[in-house]
Structure 1
Amino acid sequence: MLSEKPIEMPRSQSYGSNYFICHSLKLNRRACFYSNLEYANFLTVELNPQIIKYVEQPLQITGKNNDGKMCKTVFDMEVLYEDNINELWEIKYTSDLTGDNKSAVRAKSQIAIQKNWCLKNNILFRVRTENDIFQGLEHLNNMRFMYHCICRTDERLLGNCIKRIKRFIEQVGDTTIGHIYESDPEPTMVFPSLVYLLIRDQIKADVFNQELNFYTEVSYGKRFWNNKIAKFYEESKTWRTVSTYNMSDSDKKIYESRKKAVDLYLNGESIKNIEKMTGINHSHIKEFVDRCASLDTNGQPVGYVGLIKGHRLKSRKGPFIKLMEDHPDIRDQLLLDYFNEKKSKWDKLSSFKTIHESLIKNLIANGFKETDYPFETKSQGYRSMIRFLHNIGDENPYASLNRYGKNAEQLFRNTRCIQPDQSSPKRPFAKVELDGHKIDALFTVAVENEHGDTVYVLANRIWIIAVIDVATRVILGYTISVSQNYNRFDVLECIQNAIIPHKSLNFSQFNFKKSIEGYHSVAVPYTQWALFDEICMDNALSHLSRDITDNLEKLGISINFGPVATPHRRPLIERFFRTLEEKGFHRMPSTTGSNINDIRRIGAEKDAVTYRITLKEISEIAEIIISGYNLQPHQGLGGFSPLSVMRDRIDRGLIPSYVSDDNRKDFSLMKCYQIRKVQGNKKRESGHISILLDTNIQVPFCLQAIHQSVRIL
C-alpha cells in the first residue's frame, strides 16, 4: 500500500456534495467520504471479499494541467486485492467526464494528471463511475442493508444458521427467503446468514433489481442475470401492470395476447410455439419485450404499459422541432438569445416575449411567408418555442444557469449529484432524516413574585427535534428542548426515543386516549428496538458534535451530513414541520405565525399569559399531532397512512436490524466520554482532574481514576 492513513481533507463550503461518516468493517476505524458516489463505492468495496484492504484519499500528487499550470490532486481510493495487486481509483459521475463545462474540464484535467503519474510509477489506475458501481435500480438499497447487517452481527454466531440454510436449499432447490425464514428456528439470524452467503457468492439472488424481502428467490449456482433474457425476466417482477377494467373488448384482447407472448418468451418458450399460442407474428415478439424493458423519462422500466394499443414510448416531433432541425442557423440564433450569450449591455436577460419577437424577425428575414409555419398558427409558435427552450435548458443545465441567478446556480450544484438511477429506499429504517424546528408558539412559566403571589411570565420559544423514516414517512421519535438553542444531548435523546419503545404522556389538559396508537413501536411491535442504517442531518453545530458521531458509530449507523445551506437534501422532515405547525401550533391562541407579517401572531404574548399556556400543554399537542400524522392517509404514499405502509413493508420481509437483546436493558445514548489527565502528588496519594461539563445538563457521569482521592474542579 502506498499509504496507511488517509489524507485529511477540508469539506467544501460551496460544492454540492454530501459528507458521510461511517465505520469501516475491514479497516476497523472511522472512514469519511465526500459524495454520494464515494459512499456507494465504499459499500461495494466493503462487500467485495476479493479486496482485503483499502485507504480512502490515500495520496496527493502534483502535475501540470492542460494550461500548463501546476495543480494538486488527491486519489479517491487505493485498494489491495487478494493477489497482492494495488490499484488507485478515482470516483466520478459520467456527467463530470462529458461536456465542456467547468466541472467537466476540471475533472478531465485531474484524471489526466493522475493517469500520467500512475503510468510513470507502474501502478494500475481506474476511473469508476455510477455505471461501474450500480448494476440495478435497487443495488444501492441492498448494499446499504447488507453492509449494516453484517456490521451489527458477530459472524461467529452464524455458523449453525448458515449450515441450516445450505441444507434447506439443497433439499428443496430454488426457494424464497420467506420459506427459509419460516422454517428456521432462529429467524433473527436468517438475514445476516443470507447476507454472509451472498457476499461470498455461495448462493445466488437478484440483489440488483429488487430489495431483499420474503419474496426474493435464492438458489445454488443459478445466476438470474447471466444474459439479457434472464435479466428481463427478473426485471419483469417489478414491471408496472395494467388494469383492463375500462378497456374495450378488442383492446383488452390485444393487450392480453401481447402480455402472454412476453411472459412466455421470458420463461424460455420458443418463438414458434408462442406464435401458435398467441397468434402474434414472430417478428413482433422481441419488439414487445424490448418495449416493456425500455426506460421512461424517470429512468424506470415502462413495463406492461408499453403493450397497450396506441401507447407511445416517445413523443412525435412537432412542427417547431422540425423547423429547428431544418434551419440550424435560426436554431443557433434562438439559443444565443435564450442563453444570454450575446454579451450586449442592452440585452442582458431577454424575456420569452422578446425572444419570440426576435425569432419572428429572423424568420421573415429568411424568407418565410404568412402561409408557412409558425405564422399560420394563432400564437405563431410562442408556446412551442417556450417548451423547446425549456427542454434545451434541461439538457444543458450549465448553459441555462445564467437566466436564474446565483441562488439557482448554487441550488443546482448542491442537488445535481443525487443518484437519478437509484430508486428511493423501501425498507423501513434504511434511511432517516433528523432536524430541529423552533415552534411557532409561546408558553408561560408560573413563578412566585416578591409578595408570594403566583404569576405567569413568558418564556423563550422552544425547539422540537424529530426523526422521520424516508421509506414510510413515519415519525420515529421526537424530543422537545427548552434551551435557547438545542444541543447535542437533545439530538441524542431524540435518536434514543426513535429506537426505544415509545412511552405515552400522561395527559392533563387533553382527553386523548389513543395517542399512543400512532407510534411505530406500538402499532407495529416488530419495529421495537429497530436501528436505522443511515441518518441525514444538516451542519448545525449540535449535529457535528463528537459525542453524536461516536455514539452513532458504535451502533453501526452511517451519518450523512448534507451540503452547507441546502435543506433540499432533507425535504421530508422540512415538510413535516410545516404540517406540524399548520395542524397544531398555528391554531393556538399564542401562536407567532409563520412570519412577522402573519396576522395570527397579533396578541400572541397577551393570549399566552391570559390562557396560561404551559410547556406541558405544548408537549401534549405535539404528542397528539405526531400520532395523528402517522395514522392519517399520506398523499406521497398513494393515500395510505405511514404506519400502514410500514406494517405492510415489514410483513413483506423488508426487515431492519435491531439492538441486541444484551444491550437493551442498559441502552442509553446519553453518555459523554472525555479523556483527561489526572495530576497530583504521589507522596500525598492525591490527585485532581479538570473536566468541562455543559451547564444545566444532566447526563450520566462516570469517572475512572488511578488515585484513591480525586478532586473534581
Structure 2
Amino acid sequence: MATRAVIGYALALGREYNKDDIAAALQASVMPHAARASKIPAPVVRPGGGLPSGVIPGTAWACWGTFHFEAAKAHCAKATLERLTQVVGCTTDNGPLGQKNKRALIERFFDQIASHFAHRLAATTGGSRRAVERVLNDVGEKTSLMMTLDELEDVIDVLLAKYNGEPHGRLGGRTPLEAMHFLLEKQDSLLRTLPVARSSALCLLQEARVVAIRGDVSRGERPHINFEDVRYDSRVLSGIAGLIGKQLRIYCNVKDIRHLHVFHMDGSELGVFLPRAPGALRHIRCACDRKSSH
C-alpha cells in the first residue's frame, strides 16, 4: 500500500482464477523473483524497474504483516486463509463490507493494465480502419500474430517490472521501487522476512492432496505413489516397505507437477518425489494442459 509496488504475481489460465492460482501468487510474492530469459527480443525492462525481491537487497523472502484481500470466493476460502496465516505468520483483513473504495488501489492498477496491455478483442473493431484490433480479431492463417503462452508470460513479466519503475504522482514523483528504497532506508525494521526453515515450507500454501502408498513386496514392487496416473517415488520411500497402504499428503504446483513435496499425515516431511514411469514428463505436460483449461 505504501509503495504501490507489485511484489509478485501468477498467471491464471482459466476463465476464473481459483485457490490454486491464489496459492501460486502468494508463493511468488514471497520467493525471490528471477527475471525470465525472454523469448521476445523487443520488450525490455526500463532502467530502475523490476520486482523488489529481484533488485532490492534484503527483500528476498520478505513478507507482510497484514494481508488485505477482496471478498471473492477464491480469496475467502477458509482453508486458504488458515494456511496463509500459519505459513507466513500474518493477519488477514477483508475490509469494511460494502466499501469497495477501500480497495480502490487494486482496481486502479488493473484499469491501467487493461488500458495499456490487455484488451478484449471479441466484437471489437477499434477506432479506425487501420486499428490493430481489426487485424487481431480474425487472424485467419496468420498464426504469427498469435501469442504463445511463453510469450504472454514474457510480456507480463516485463510489463509489471516496468510498472514498478514508473513515477507515481501519489508517491511524490518516486517510482514504487524508489519509494520502497526510501522507506527501508528510513526504517529497516519495517522489513520482516521468513526464517530459512519456514521459507522451505512455502509449498504448504497449496491445498494438500491425500494419496495412498502403493506397492507389493511379494512381487518386488517397491513403495510408490500415483498422481495424475503417473508413478512417483523417492529413495527414502523405496526402502520403507512398512509404509505400504499408509496415506501421505502431497503439495504441488498444478501447472508443473514434475516434482511433489510429500509429507506424512502427522506433518513430518518425507521429501521431494519425482516421476519414474516411462514417458511421465510428456504425460505431466498434458495433465497440466487439461487442468489449465478447466
TM-score by length of 1: 0.28
Aligned pairs for 1:45-84 within 5 A = none
CA contact (8 A) 1:489 1:670 kept: no
State how far apart, in whole Å, the 2-side matches of 1:653 and 1:575 are.
28
**Aligned residue for 1:624?**
158
Q: Distance in 1 between matches of 2:184 and 2:54?
A: 14
Deviation of the 1:621 alpha carbon: 1.5
1:585 correspondence with 2:118: yes
- Which of 38, 51, 55 aligns to 1:523? It is 55
Change (3 A) 1:484 1:564: farther
Q: 1:551 to 1:604 in 2, by over 3 A?
A: same
Q: CA deviation at 1:630?
A: 0.6
Q: 1:658 to 1:606 in 2, by over 3 A?
A: same
Distance change in 2, residues 1:487/1:474 (3 Å) = same
Q: Is the 8 A contact 1:530 1:659 kept in 2?
A: yes
SS at match of 1:628: helix
For 1:203-242, list aligned pairs within 5 A: none
Q: Is the 8 A contact 2:67 2:93 kept in 1?
A: yes
Alignment-derived partner of residue 491 in structure 1: 22
Whichever residue aligns with residue 505 of structure 1, its letter is R
What is the rounded CA distance, in whole Å, between the counterparts of 2:23 and 2:248 in structure 1?
25
Counterpart residue number, 1:661: 196
Give matches, 1:593-608, under 5 Å: 599=127, 601-607=133-139
Cα distance in 1 for partners of 2:36, 2:64 equals: 25
| Whole-angstrom CA distance in 1 between matches of 2:186 and 2:249 | 50
Alignment counterpart, residue 264 of structure 2, candidates 704, 707, 713: 704
Offset of residue 598 of structure 1:
6.2
**Superposed displacement of residue 563, structure 1:** 5.1
* Superposed displacement of residue 607, structure 1: 3.3
Distance 1:546 1:573, change over 3 A: same
Deviation at 1:616, TM superposition (A): 1.9
Distance 1:646 1:674, change over 3 A: same
Partner residue in 2 for 1:569: 102
**Maintained 8 Å contact 2:10/2:25:** yes
Query: How far 1:529 moved relative to its partner?
Result: 1.2
Pick one of 610, 613, 628 that aligns with 2:147. Answer: 613
Aligned length: 226
| Aligned equivalents of 1:523, 1:689: Cα separation in 2 | 42
Q: Distance in 2 between matches of 1:566 and 1:608?
A: 45
For structure 1, the 5+ residue unaligned runs are: 1-469, 679-684, 707-713
Q: Which string of whole-angstrom CA distances, capped at 9 and with x for unpartnered residues, describes residues 301-359 of structure 1?
A: xxxxxxxxxxxxxxxxxxxxxxxxxxxxxxxxxxxxxxxxxxxxxxxxxxxxxxxxxxx
| Rounded Cα–Cα distance in structure 1 between residues aligned with 2:156 and 2:62 | 23
Equivalence map 1:187-202=2 (5 Å): none
How many Å separate the matches in 2 of 1:537 and 1:473?
Answer: 15
Contact 2:168-2:175 within 8 A present in 1 as well: yes
Q: Distance between the aligned counterparts of 2:44 and 2:211, measured in 1?
A: 49
Structure possessing the higher relative contact order (Cα contacts under 8 Å, 6 or more residues apart): 2
Over the residues paired in the alignment, what is the CA RMSD in angstroms? 3.8
Q: Paired residue for 2:287?
A: none
Unaligned runs of 5+ in 2: 214-242, 267-294
Q: Which amino acid aligns with 1:486?
A: Y
Is residue 56–residue 181 contact of structure 2 (8 Å, CA) maintained in 1?
yes
- Paired with 1:574 and 1:592, the residues of 2 have a C-alpha distance of 21
Q: Secondary structure at the match of 1:535?
A: strand
What is the aligned counterpart of 2:7 among 469, 476, 484?
A: 476
**TM-aligned CA distance change 1:614 to 1:564, over 3 Å:** farther
CA distance in 1 between counterparts of 2:250 and 2:43 reads: 43
- Can you list the C-alpha shifts for 1:367-412, whole angstroms capped at 9, x where unaligned? xxxxxxxxxxxxxxxxxxxxxxxxxxxxxxxxxxxxxxxxxxxxxx
Note the C-alpha offset of 1:650: 0.3
Identity score, percent: 20
Contact 1:475–1:630, Cα closer than 8 Å, also in 2? yes
Residue of 147, 155, 178 corresponding to 1:644: 178
Distance 1:612 1:569, change over 3 A: same
Alignment CA distance shift 1:705-1:514 (3 Å): closer
Which residue in the other structure is 1:421 paired with?
Answer: none
